[in-house]
Amino acid sequence: MARKVSPKEPSNAATDDPAAAYRALVEEIAEHDRRYHAEDAPTISDGDYDALRRKLVAIEAGHPEFVDDASPSKRVGAKPSERFSKVRHRVGMLSLGNIFADEEVEEFCTRVRRFLGLKTEDPLAITAEPKIDGLSCSLRYVDGVLVQAATRGDGQEGEDVTANIRTIAEIPHRLRGEAPGVLDIRGEVYMTKEGFAGVNARQAESGKPLFANPRNSAAGSLRQLDPAITASRPLRFFAYAWGEADHPPADTQTGMVEAFRRFGLPVNPETVLCRSAEELLAQYRRIEAERAALPYDIDGVVYKVNAVVLQARLGFVSRTPRWATAHKFPAERATTVLRRIEVQVGRTGTLTPVARLDPVTVGGVVVTNATLHNEDEIRRKDAREGDTVRLQRAGDVIPQIVEVLVEKRPAESKEYAFPTVCPACGSPAEREIDEKTGRQDVRRRCTAGLVCPAQAIERLKHFCARDALDIEGLGDRQIEQFYHEGLVMTPADIFTLRERDRRSLKKLKDREGYGDTSVRNLFASIDERRSPPVDKLLYSLGIRHVGRTNSKRLGRRYGTFEAIRAMAITAGARTAGGDTAEAAEAKAEMENIEGMGSAAVDQLVAFFAEANNNAVVDALLAEVTPVAMEAVVSTSPVSGKTVVFTGTLEKMTRDEAKAQAERLGAKVSGAVSRATDIVIAGVKAGSKLKKAAELGVETLSEDEWLARVGGATPEEVDEPDSDPGDDARE
Ligand code: IVH
């Protein structure tokens, strides 16, 4: 961003008093920073600004006693546009499944035992520890030295917060003792309740907005572009897990955490090793009773199978481990009045009812909206405008209405009628019928597609959003404004904006709220996005079920955008008699991409079957050039293979073996035939092994099989089989 040249010269802050001159200079720089960063309206040139900073550094060199933490020289001159760079986690950062009821603790233990094939009398050690309410981070130590730190992000890719993490006093820059060559420490960055109160007091003093709770405050403090701000906030850390680790220092959860402690990392002192569901529950009760007295916020207790080998055998389902779970504390509740029910129209046309509430505090956060999910839910609860309702809020999620207090209902109250036409465009809003089950979808959708302004606007917002094309300067408000004025109706219009503005008499820069600089910045950030990676471009189109993960899968499989589109069009080709063989094959091929699922393929095919959508995409492709990805046909050595397990397996149970093979994209069958690719023969394998030999099918011992699939990287194994990010903006 260039700084606008000021009509007035930068002041010369020299007086006879060097301390006063220094203070004046600090103030002057702070004021330019504010104009530049907060207002996007600098009043001096970059060169003049740099001269001021050089002068500051010169004074500081001569008078170190003047320097304090607030000095602009302590700040890295990060522009707000320079966002954090991305870090790919070598081993995915997963989240935990939740349980709430006491009985579920027993169920968790039983599930683990069943999966491992343990008998009731076999011992099974599980740890119980507090679930810290902060944000998880991965700290990478190489030869004992902290080299990188990243936030969790979407679990596969996080933000590089190394400089900020380095400001946290209790995180060692070098591990003590004999640390492994590579060790990713996973843990929680948090703020104590006291630290949070202090931060908010300072925010209030300086007239800045307050943080809602310690977790938000910790997140806001860590994700600062300026590490000096992070340094001024009382952030803390607990290490509780690990990612990539060569030569792991221990073979149990407790042993690993003990090793972390020896390395000089802070670990939570409340962790206890338990031998039964009863002991776990007793620890849950103890920790719950101590919750209020603990210096930091917790929202539950985490249980983890102690033996690392068993953790590995249990593996993951989707994005959550089978070997651990979070036993959450009951959600906090409050009562308030539901004033209005508003219906919002999402990117794919879904009508979502939102309850507008009288403000009320639940668990330390002021709540004014709650989700009502869908029309069936409203009917089931008989929620009406004017009702008094009980709310609950658990962790980060949007508050929910638990029940309606019917006894407080006003006499004139009327049952709520859910709209059957789209509130944005008046077109019919319908509930789809699931072809397979014959059941009505819970969601009602506007049928107008992109003709509906609400859908078109939401799609444009999605297109420009951070996790999509990430076009800075085109925020929700601008998109709405540009859409209503007819300036930007489809994604391609964004990229022709500059050229049209050049020819137009009504220039963007002459509008209220705009200026030379902001318009120039907007055009620059649009230009920066003219070569998006294939997966980003696909994701940004906002096709249902084609979220970030599925877009990556498609990009990785087919390489170019046109190849993906061609596959989808082939798969959608129909003859009068039904699907052509080629279409069926194309569809099956896409469905066989590990983790894809048929719903996403159906939506992709449906999208490219529409002439309208293709026209929108063609126009867009005339403006942007997607960058191809490296196409990888198969991500695992056994993907697409049909395998049969026979005999007694010794390293894993049948269920485990099956789950693992399927995770790697293999099809597990019970019988050997010509279609079988591999037979894995355990101890005492009999007729199936014989048959395999007769048919010339490859046979592997259990160890040979493990060696073969062991070649798959953990990331491939961890790849989730659903895509919760999809429709997330709805
Ligand atoms: S273990 C594979 N232990 O909870 C599981 N997580 O919902 C690795 N969290 O993203 C996580 N306290 O941010 C673990 N003692 C604890 C935790 C904990 C808080 C958070 C963490 C994670 C989330 C999972």
pLDDT in tens, 342-373: 999 999 999 999 999 999 988 667 889 998 88
168, 192 contact by CB (below 8 A): no
Do 541 and 665 belong to one domain? Answer: no
Model confidence band, residue 392 (pLDDT cutoffs 50, 70, 90):
confident
Do 662 and 611 belong to one domain? Answer: no
Indicate whether 18 belongs to any domain: no
Distance between Cα 286 and ligand 1 center (Å): 19
Distance between Cα 488 and ligand 1 center (Å): 42
Domain hosting 648: range is 642-711
Q: Report which ligand 1 atom has the smallest distance to the Cα of 94.
A: 2
Q: Is the pLDDT of residue 729 over 60?
A: no
218, 134 contact by CB (below 8 A): yes
Q: Report which ligand 1 atom has the smallest distance to the Cα of 304.
A: 1
Indicate whether 27 belongs to any domain: no
CATH number, residue 605: 1.10.150.20
pLDDT in tens, 18-61: 888 888 888 888 777 666 554 445 576 666 776 787 788 778 87
Indicate whether 71 belongs to any domain: no
Indicate whether 420 belongs to any domain: no
Q: Report which ligand 1 atom has the smallest distance to the Cα of 135.
A: 13
Distance between Cα 207 and ligand 1 center (Å): 34
Name the residue among 712, 348, 723, 713 with its Cα closest to residue 552: 723
Six token digits for residue 634 = 């198969």
Nearest protein Cα to ligand 1, atom 17: 131
Average pLDDT for 131-144: 96
Is residue 131 annotated as part of the catalytic site, yes or no? yes
Six token digits for residue 354 = 């939102």
Least reliable range by pLDDT among 186-200, 518-532, 541-555, 703-717: 703-717
Do 699 and 612 belong to one domain? Answer: no
Nearest protein Cα to ligand 1, atom 18: 131
Beta-carbon neighbour count of residue 553 at 10 Å?
22
Average pLDDT for 546-557: 92
Please state, in angstroms and as integers, the Cα–Cα distance from residue 530 to each residue in 476, 502, 506, 526, 533, following that order. Answer: 20, 19, 25, 7, 10
Highest mean pLDDT among 204-213, 632-641, 681-690, 709-718: 681-690
Tell me what pLDDT residue 343 has: 96
Nearest protein Cα to ligand 1, atom 15: 131
CATH number, residue 233: 3.30.470.30
Q: Report which ligand 1 atom has the smallest distance to the Cα of 129.
A: 15
Q: What angle do CA 58, 59, 61 make, to 5 degrees?
A: 65
418, 375 contact by CB (below 8 A): yes
Distance between Cα 186 and ligand 1 center (Å): 9
Domain final residue, candidates 328, 363, 392: 328
Tell me what pLDDT residue 11 has: 42
Model confidence band, residue 479 (pLDDT cutoffs 50, 70, 90):
very high
Determine the Cα–Cα distance for residues 170 and 234; give it in Å rounded to an integer. 10
Question: Phi/psi zone of residue 603: left (φ > 0), alpha (ψ -120 to 50 degrees), beta?
Answer: alpha
Do 152 and 283 belong to one domain? Answer: yes
Average pLDDT for 436-463: 90
Q: Report which ligand 1 atom has the smallest distance to the Cα of 152.
A: 10
Please state, in angstroms and as integers, the Cα–Cα distance from residue 700 to each residue in 2, 161, 559, 668, 705, following that order. Answer: 65, 46, 33, 15, 6
- From the list 4, 131, 304, 641, the catalytic residue is 131
Distance between Cα 495 and ligand 1 center (Å): 42
User: Best substitution site from 137, 154, 302 to test ligand 1's pocket, by max atoms within 8 Å of Cβ?
Assistant: 302
Do 516 and 549 belong to one domain? Answer: no
Q: According to DSSP H, which parts of 559-647 are helical?
A: 561-572, 581-591, 598-608, 611-621
Distance between Cα 235 and ligand 1 center (Å): 17
Nearest protein Cα to ligand 1, atom 13: 136
429, 433, 434, 439: CA torsion to nearest 10: 120
Indicate whether 250 belongs to any domain: yes
Indicate whether 135 belongs to any domain: yes
Do 543 and 514 belong to one domain? Answer: no
3-state secondary structure of 615: helix
Name the residue among 506, 485, 528, 522 with its Cα closest to residue 624: 528
What is the overall mean pLDDT for the chain? 86
Determine the Cα–Cα distance for residues 238 and 260; give it in Å rounded to an integer. 10
337, 386 contact by CB (below 8 A): yes
pLDDT in tens, 71-105: 776 554 333 334 788 899 999 998 899 998 999 99
3-state secondary structure of 123: coil
Distance between Cα 128 and ligand 1 center (Å): 12
224, 164 contact by CB (below 8 A): yes
Beta-carbon contacts of residue 211 (< 8 Å; ≥ 6 apart):
196, 199, 200, 203, 217, 220
Tell me what pLDDT residue 24 has: 86
Average pLDDT for 597-624: 93
Do 236 and 127 belong to one domain? Answer: yes
Model confidence band, residue 578 (pLDDT cutoffs 50, 70, 90):
low
Tell me what pLDDT residue 84 has: 85
Q: Is the pLDDT of residue 8 over 50?
A: no
Highest mean pLDDT among 303-312, 627-636, 685-694: 303-312
Do 540 and 501 belong to one domain? Answer: no
Do 684 and 616 belong to one domain? Answer: no
Q: Report which ligand 1 atom has the smallest distance to the Cα of 326.
A: 7
Tell me what pLDDT residue 727 has: 35
Domain final residue, candidates 298, 328, 358: 328
Determine the Cα–Cα distance for residues 141 and 234; give it in Å rounded to an integer. 23
Nearest protein Cα to ligand 1, atom 1: 241
> DSSP assignment, residue 533?
B
User: Best substitution site from 188, 190, 294, 316 to test ligand 1's pocket, by max atoms within 8 Å of Cβ?
Assistant: 188
Regarding predicted confidence, which is higher, 430 or 724?
A: 430
Nearest protein Cα to ligand 1, atom 6: 131
Determine the Cα–Cα distance for residues 619 and 495; give it in Å rounded to an integer. 10
Question: What percent of the chain has a predicted confidence (pLDDT) above 70?
Answer: 89
Domain final residue, candidates 306, 328, 350: 328
Distance between Cα 535 and ligand 1 center (Å): 29
Distance between Cα 469 and ligand 1 center (Å): 30
Do 117 and 240 belong to one domain? Answer: yes
- Host H or E run for residue 721: none
Tell me what pLDDT residue 634 has: 59
Determine the Cα–Cα distance for residues 583 and 566; give it in Å rounded to an integer. 11
Do 288 and 140 belong to one domain? Answer: yes
User: Best substitution site from 95, 291, 297 to test ligand 1's pocket, by max atoms within 8 Å of Cβ?
Assistant: 95
Tell me what pLDDT residue 575 has: 62
Name the residue among 449, 410, 722, 500 with its Cα closest to residue 609: 449
Burial class (CB in 10 A: 0-12, 13-18, 19+), 293: exposed
Q: Is the pLDDT of residue 4 over 60?
A: no
pLDDT in tens, 234-282: 999 999 999 999 989 999 999 999 999 999 999 999 999 999 999 999 9
Q: Report which ligand 1 atom has the smallest distance to the Cα of 130.
A: 15
Average pLDDT for 59-64: 81
Tell me what pLDDT residue 631 has: 74
Average pLDDT for 602-610: 93
pLDDT in tens, 99-127: 989 999 999 999 999 999 998 889 999 99
Do 602 and 677 belong to one domain? Answer: no
Determine the Cα–Cα distance for residues 228 and 225; give it in Å rounded to an integer. 9
Domains identified in the chain, total number? 4
CATH number, residue 664: 3.40.50.10190
Nearest protein Cα to ligand 1, atom 23: 95
Beta-carbon contacts of residue 388 (< 8 Å; ≥ 6 apart):
335, 336, 337, 338, 404, 405, 408, 409
Beta-carbon contacts of residue 650 (< 8 Å; ≥ 6 apart):
682, 683, 702
Ligand 1 environment, Cβ below 6 A: 94-96, 129, 131-132, 136, 152, 188, 240-241, 302, 321, 324, 326
Model confidence band, residue 411 (pLDDT cutoffs 50, 70, 90):
very high
Indicate whether 77 belongs to any domain: no
Determine the Cα–Cα distance for residues 91 and 151; give it in Å rounded to an integer. 13
Average pLDDT for 154-183: 93
Output phi, psi for 277, to 5 deg. -60, -35
Output phi, psi for 189, to 5 deg. -90, 130
Nearest protein Cα to ligand 1, atom 16: 131
Burial class (CB in 10 A: 0-12, 13-18, 19+), 605: buried
Indicate whether 112 belongs to any domain: yes
Average pLDDT for 484-491: 94
